[in-house]
Amino acid sequence: MLGDLTGRKALVTGAGSGIGRGIATVLADQGASVAVTDLSQQWADETAALITDASTLSIQMDVTDSASVNAAVGQAISQWGTLDIIVNNAGVARAPSGQPEDDWDVTYEINVRGVVRCCEAALPHMQERGYGKIVNIASMAGHGGRRSGGAYAVSKAAVLRYTRGLAAELASSNINVNAICPGAVWTRFQQEGARVRQQADPSLADRDIEDLFHERYDPVIPMGRPQTPEDIGKTTAFLVSEDSRNITGQCIHVDGGVILRD
Ligand SMILES: NC(=O)c1ccc[n+]([C@@H]2O[C@H](COP(=O)([O-])OP(=O)(O)OC[C@H]3O[C@@H](n4cnc5c(N)ncnc54)[C@H](O)[C@@H]3O)[C@@H](O)[C@H]2O)c1
């Protein structure tokens, strides 16, 4: 079986929703025990309830809070004795305040520092064992050069740079560090984006937000279709399995070919 994770122990951040839920359920399908962590305990519980054939933990964890991150990583290690896999998926597009100037601090704190906190919490354990797999969920937005893309795009470019640097540092410890860049996935994240566009343009007021999502993304995706949380989960399963043991410091684009556009 490709991406076999039998016996592996994983922790996924932001796993209560969307892509993180897809990752958690696919890793469990592939045989891993999964710590489902999220800012929302209720959403984490909902994802954990979908996992019936594997050991799972449901943990409230805020990636902006070192104590919370350290406690969640510690809980997984004390439950299972080891932690083989960290998937840094939690992320936001903008600040909840709706003030664009706040976006810089909020996206940096969650999307960048959140990834760093989780890696630093797990690394002493992984380095001691000489084994570990880290996957960071970045974005196609981290690559674009056509527009600035704002705080979100810059935060994802930072995740990609951090991924490469950490991979180089940890290669001799047998720890693989890779990134995945999704293109467009219909999740709460995109629902919120569609609502923001709708509120800014009165002509969109009566439109279905999922239609707005397809109208925005389908034409720019060479394969003409958005991606699913399971698409991202399957690529994650490959990257955290022994099938990819000699792949590190890379970014896999799961975007239907968006990265190929001029
Ligand atoms: N949906 C897309 O089209 C798309 C495209 C490219 C990249 N991404 C990236 O994929 C990742 C997941 O996005 P999604 O689309 O599933 O979004 P989502 O909003 O459905 O899920 C994000 C999850 O992160 C959690 N979260 C937010 N802040 C947190 C915090 N401080 N601590 C812990 N958890 C927190 C939320 O509670 C939520 O469950 C993000 O990093 C996002 O940037 C998404």
pLDDT at 1 over 70: no
| Spatial distance between the Cα atoms of 20 and 171, rounded to a whole number of angstroms | 26
Residues with CB under 6 A from ligand 1: 13-14, 16-20, 38-40, 43, 61-64, 89-92, 110, 137, 139, 182, 184-185, 187-190
Domains, the chain: 9-184+228-260 (3.40.50.720), 185-220 (no CATH)
* pLDDT at site 261: 84
Could you tell me the two tokens for 140? 């196609």
Atom of ligand 1 nearest to the CA of 93: 43
- Atom 17 of ligand 1, residue of closest alpha carbon: 189
| The predicted structure's pLDDT at residue 89 | 98
pLDDT of residue 70: 98
What is residue 262's predicted lDDT score, i.e. its pLDDT?
67
Looking at residue 149, its pLDDT comes to 80
Are 180 and 235 within 8 A, CB to CB?
yes
2 confidence band (pLDDT: 50, 70, 90): confident
CA of 91 to the centre of ligand 1 (A): 4
Name residue, tokens 């940890």.
170
Q: Euclidean distance between the first and final Cα of the chain, in Å? A: 37
Active site residue 217: no
pTM, full prediction? 0.98
pLDDT in tens, 204-245: 999 999 999 999 999 999 999 999 999 999 999 999 999 999
- When pLDDT is averaged across residues 181-191 and rounded to a whole number, the result is 97
Asked if 26 contacts 233 with a C-beta cutoff of 8 angstroms, the reply is yes
pLDDT, tens digit (0-9, with 9 covering 90-100), for 81-123: 999 999 999 999 999 998 999 999 999 999 999 999 999 999 9
Catalytic residue among 108, 131, 152, 217: 152
The predicted-structure confidence for 119-165, as pLDDT tens digits, reads as follows: 999 999 999 999 999 999 999 999 976 677 899 999 999 999 999 99
Which residue's CA lies nearest to atom 42 of ligand 1?
91
SS3 141: helix
pLDDT in tens, 38-70: 999 999 999 999 999 999 999 999 999 999 999
Average pLDDT, the chain: 96
Ligand 1 centroid vs 227 CA: distance in angstroms?
Answer: 15
The ligand 1 atom at the shortest distance from the C-alpha of residue 226 is 3
